[in-house]
């Protein structure tokens, strides 16, 4: 079976189950994923995201196949219901808490 057939047949529910399985390392019935199953499921999740993920979350593959990394500030604004900033000002600097270093 080729990848196009798999992606065309994958429903959002199947995608969510695969995504959850990759995240927690278990199938919905509690069975652990083998390393081969984890790798295959992760590839399927990333391919599905590259085709359908218009609202990419932090560290995902967005539509078009680009990796999306949202900053902590963007995530805070998103969770607060605010629109994310289009660009960071040139004079902004990165700030980290001590335990993040």
Q: Count CA atoms closer than 13 A to 61's CA, side-chain side.
A: 14
pTM of the prediction?
0.53
Q: Residue 29: CB partners within 8 Å, gap ≥ 6? A: none
Residue 40 has pLDDT above 60, yes or no: yes
Could you list the residue range(s) of the whole structural domain that residue 17 is in? 3-100
pLDDT band at 57 (very low <50, low <70, confident <90, very high): low
What pLDDT is recorded for position 20? 92
- Distance from C-alpha of 74 to C-alpha of 66, rounded to nearest angstrom: 18
What pLDDT is recorded for position 31? 95
List Cα–Cα distances, 48 to 2, 12, 17, 86, in angstroms.
14, 9, 12, 26
Number of domains observed in the structure of the chain: 1
What pLDDT is recorded for position 52? 76
What pLDDT is recorded for position 29? 94
pLDDT in tens, 14-28: 999 999 999 899 999
What pLDDT is recorded for position 92? 66
């Amino acid at each position: 079976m080729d990848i196009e057939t798999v992606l065309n047949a994958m429903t959002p529910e199947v995608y969510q189950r695969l995504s959850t399985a990759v995240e927690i390392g278990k199938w919905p019935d509690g069975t652990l994923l083998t390393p081969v199953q984890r790798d295959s499921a992760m590839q399927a999740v990333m391919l599905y995201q590259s085709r359908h993920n218009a609202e990419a979350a932090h560290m995902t593959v967005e539509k078009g196949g680009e990796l999306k990394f949202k900053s902590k500030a963007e995530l805070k604004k998103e969770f607060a219901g605010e629109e994310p900033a289009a660009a960071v000002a040139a004079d902004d600097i990165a700030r980290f808490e001590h335990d993040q270093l």
